[in-house]
Homo-oligomer: A and B are copies of this chain.
């Protein structure tokens, strides 16, 4: 797939790429899409040279040894800074995602002076791309938009859902029996994140990376919208 530029239609770009490879979507496929191409298409690139950091950003940048203009963008995208240390800023962003650097990425952007923000409304992006792909292929599918998140307690990033449409993001297994007929102890399964993690592993991070993957055969497509159910409410969370 070629590079995506601002204003490009992500659904058409994916459909075109699939058709060139003699591939097509079928009912119940789930298309997992890297945040990067969605953000680029939506014009979420920011030139650092155009950013004027506030005093708060300058202070936090000094504490963490980061570029103050980058920190300014992180603060603009966030509602709270949860942790900071040299080279690390963990925020709660305005979508409710707890993540490093507010998901702002310096990799895979053409211009070394530019950075890429997350999509403004990833659930809406997913819904729009889904509608586009459904129209092209005449099918009912799901879409998950993913980014790579670090985790508390464990090293390494894991692809994580940041937007969804047409997918059961959180499976509610309450009331289901275990193998011996008793109530199952585990009651909610983060299906969208499991799909996001595997698809991101296959998509890759480096220069050979591909920006989307198709999950076939997983029958959790639904008319469900968004991934709000995956986000723990702040008041229920023991780690922020």
Contact = CB atoms under 8 A, between A and B. Distances in A.
25 contacts: A85-B238, A90-B238, A107-B186, A108-B178, A110-B180, A112-B180, A151-B152, A151-B190, A152-B237, A154-B230, A154-B231, A154-B232, A155-B190, A155-B229, A156-B170, A156-B171, A156-B189, A156-B191, A156-B230, A158-B190, A176-B206, A179-B209, A186-B205, A189-B201, A194-B200
A131 B204 CA distance: 30
Interface residues of A, number: 63
A188 interface: yes
Interface of A: 3, 83, 85, 88, 90, 97-98, 105-110, 112, 148, 151-160, 170-171, 173, 176-186, 188-191, 193-195, 197-198, 200-201, 205-207, 209, 218, 229-232, 237-240
- Chain B CB within 10 Å — which of A88, A109, A156 has the most? A156
Copy count, this protein chain? 2
Interface centre among A88, A109, A195, A198 (most CB of B within 10 A): A198
Contacts of A205: 173, 176, 184, 186, 189
B182 A107 contact: yes
Contacts of A206: 173, 176-178, 184
Nearest to A112: B182
B193 A194 contact: no
Residue among A148, A177, A232 with most chain B CB within 10 A: A232
